[in-house]
Amino acid sequence: MEKETVMQSYMEQHLMSIPELEVGQIVTGTVVQTNDETVLVDIGYKSEGQVPVDEFIELPKIGDKVALTILKLDNGRGQVVVSKKRAEAKERTEVLKKAAEDRTPVLGKFVKVIKGGYEVDLGADYKGFCPLSKADVVRVEDPETLVGKTDYFIIDKFHNGTKLKSVVSRREYLENKIKENRQKFFEAAHVGDIVQGVVKSFTSFGAFIDLGGFDGLLHINDMSWGHVTRPKDFVKKGQIVQLKLINIDPETQKINLSLKAMEPDPWSTFDQKYHIGDVVKRPVTKIANFGVFIEIEPGIEGLAHISELSWTKRITNPKEIVNIGDVVEAKILGWDLDSKRVSLGLKQLEENPWDTIDERYPVGKVISGPVVKVTNSGAFVNLEEGIDGFLHIDDISWTKKIKSMDQFCKEGDTIEVAVTKVEPANRRIKLSVKQLEGNPWQTLKKDYPRFSTITGTVSSVTEFGVFVKVIGDIEGLIGKNNLVGPDEQYTDAVLESYKEKIGQPITAMVVDVDSAKQKLSLSIREMIKRSQESEMAKYMAETKDDDDSYNPFADLLKK
């Protein structure tokens, strides 16, 4: 009986304190004991409550403060029934409701991808729906990449319950944050400041750098003091870089950044370190159709133009002689510091074979060489490595008319030629085949002066006269009007009759020999006329011997 009396007294005292608590009330208690299943919390009012361990993310320590909701004043064993989750849910409800009204950001987590967007955990069993279009400020290519990410959201529509009816937007939060970051940047940043950003994307003219949701431009010309053709050679996507701010315009919101400005300009001391004629031994960095870029030092490249690569080789592509990465020797030929250009030469380190070309190939020298190229007007003959001479089609024969170079030679043929002209300044050597023989035109002009007779063979008949082949295979022309004597009348029948005489001998008078133009003019008319005059003069001379009387007609004939 005494034990029951003590127990009853204790219960009465406990129940007397309970009315000070209310169901649904949120109280703050102190952890006094923990085990594997429950956490015992002193909530005051001489009362304690037990909370299941699974309501805690991490097991609290004795002395930690915990917010709880009163579910029942007595569980039959003298303990108050409490819930940590209910307290958190109630507090979270007020937080979310207030955040929705004020459009202030709340923390949430992308839980999973659902139709049209994401399920977002807002805490305390509250779920929100985030449409895919409101998940980021940029298009989300792979929705799964955001699952598990924790960030802030703006509540567009709040529903007081655990069902998925609240609508949230991460995009609005990000846009507000970007706007805030941009405003702070433009208020605080100055030209010359060093800023940090992440390489976001590339264009043909440079790269965009993310400075906190807004971009700055790293132009291709601001990547290096040297020549830049590919922005990706200097920065990589996703790379964190430090850059110098070189231009900022709050009105247009344009930001220009520079990577090369992080280092001193090597061009400012170039003329102090280098001189024209200096030889550098450095690697080839780029190859273009027009030449080779060679790194003189970091940030400075020089160009060896294709014409400066060899004295003799006909280079169509620089890759024929060098590759990227090759270390080559080059001579500095000149520079333009304003344009940041340096001219280099590779051939200048070798002897120029054209300086002594006229000593090795004097005019008149006879040599043999292979035909390396045939054109419509002639052929190139290789004389030595890298040096060719040109044989014009008109220099093959004194007398034959070569219509096509293929009739005389083909690529690969070895022919004998004579040097007729050397032009070192123009790098040209003129060759000839006909000079290997004597000039038959000079012989003809010497042996058959004007008004002498010559015998040849009828070779062809054309509408304007008859061609006669004479010594040295030279062809002369008897014009159709010169085919008959001075007392005869020319007719087409006369010309026609010569077609039957092709191959037969014929004698005519030399009217003109033009060795320069290789033209021989012949005439039967002039031959007959002069023969008649000669006979008449002879006759008159004999008449005068018989009769010394004055005969004016005879004098006229003599004249």
pLDDT for 406-425, tens place per residue? 888 999 999 988 898 999 88
- Whether the CA torsion 69, 72, 75, 77 is positive or negative: it is positive
The confidence band for 18, taking pLDDT boundaries of 50, 70 and 90, is very low
Tokens at 233, concatenated: 């050679």
DSSP bridge pairs for 249: 254
Q: Specify the pLDDT at position 500.
A: 84
Q: How far apart are CA 153 and CA 140, in angstroms?
A: 17
The confidence band for 552, taking pLDDT boundaries of 50, 70 and 90, is low
Q: Specify the pLDDT at position 384.
A: 86
What does the pLDDT look like over 164-198, one tens digit per residue? 678 999 999 999 999 998 999 998 899 999 999 99
Residue 112 has pLDDT above 60, yes or no: yes
**HEC profile of 286-327:** EEECCEEEEEEECCEEEEEEHHHCCCCCCCCCHHHCCCCCCE
H or E element in which residue 102 lies:
helix 84-102
Check: CB of residue 197 under 8 Å from CB of residue 211: yes
Query: What type of residue sits at position 147?
Result: V
Q: Specify the pLDDT at position 27.
A: 79
Q: How far is CA 117 from CA 134, 137, 148, 168, 169, in A?
A: 8, 14, 14, 11, 11
DSSP annotation string for 116-181: TEEEEEEETTEEEEEEGGGS-SS--S-GGGGTT-EEEEEEEE--SSSSTTEEEEHHHHHHHHHHHH
Q: How far apart are CA 217 and CA 123, in angstroms?
A: 40
Q: How far apart are CA 97 and CA 124, in angstroms?
A: 13
Q: How far apart are CA 375 and CA 393, in angstroms?
A: 9
Q: Which residues contact 209 (CB under 8 A, 6 or more apart)?
A: 197, 198, 199, 200, 215, 216, 217, 218, 241, 243, 257
Residue 7 has pLDDT above 70, yes or no: no
Mean pLDDT of the chain: 84
Q: How far is CA 36 from CA 63, 283, 303, in A?
A: 17, 71, 78
Total-model pTM: 0.47
Q: How far is CA 147 from CA 114, 121, 125, 155, 166, in A?
A: 11, 11, 18, 19, 18
Q: How far apart are CA 294 and CA 322, in angstroms?
A: 11
The confidence band for 161, taking pLDDT boundaries of 50, 70 and 90, is low
Q: How far apart are CA 494 and CA 486, in angstroms?
A: 14
| Residue among 218, 179, 174 nearest 196 (CA) | 218
Give the residue, 370 or 12, on which the prediction is more confident: 370
The confidence band for 333, taking pLDDT boundaries of 50, 70 and 90, is very high
Question: For 375-427, where are the E strands, in sequence order?
Answer: 378-384, 387-392, 414-423
Q: How far apart are CA 282 and CA 295, in angstroms?
A: 6
Whole-number percent of the chain with pLDDT over 70 = 90
Q: Specify the pLDDT at position 217.
A: 94
In the chain, the domains with their CATH numbers are: 2-88 (2.40.50.140), 103-176 (2.40.50.140), 189-262 (2.40.50.140), 266-349 (2.40.50.140), 353-436 (2.40.50.140), 440-531 (2.40.50.140)
- Whether the CA torsion 90, 94, 100, 106 is positive or negative: it is negative
Residue 52 has pLDDT above 60, yes or no: yes
**At residue 5, what are phi and psi to the nearest 5 degrees?**
-65, -40
End-to-end Cα separation, the chain, in angstroms: 190
- Beta-strand relationship, 106-114 and 150-157: antiparallel
| Residue among 70, 92, 84, 66 nearest 24 (CA) | 70
Give the residue, 457 or 87, on which the prediction is more confident: 457
Q: How far apart are CA 199 and CA 330, in angstroms?
A: 36
Average pLDDT over residues 60-86: 74
- Overall residue count recorded for the chain in this entry: 559
- DSSP 8-state symbol, 388: E
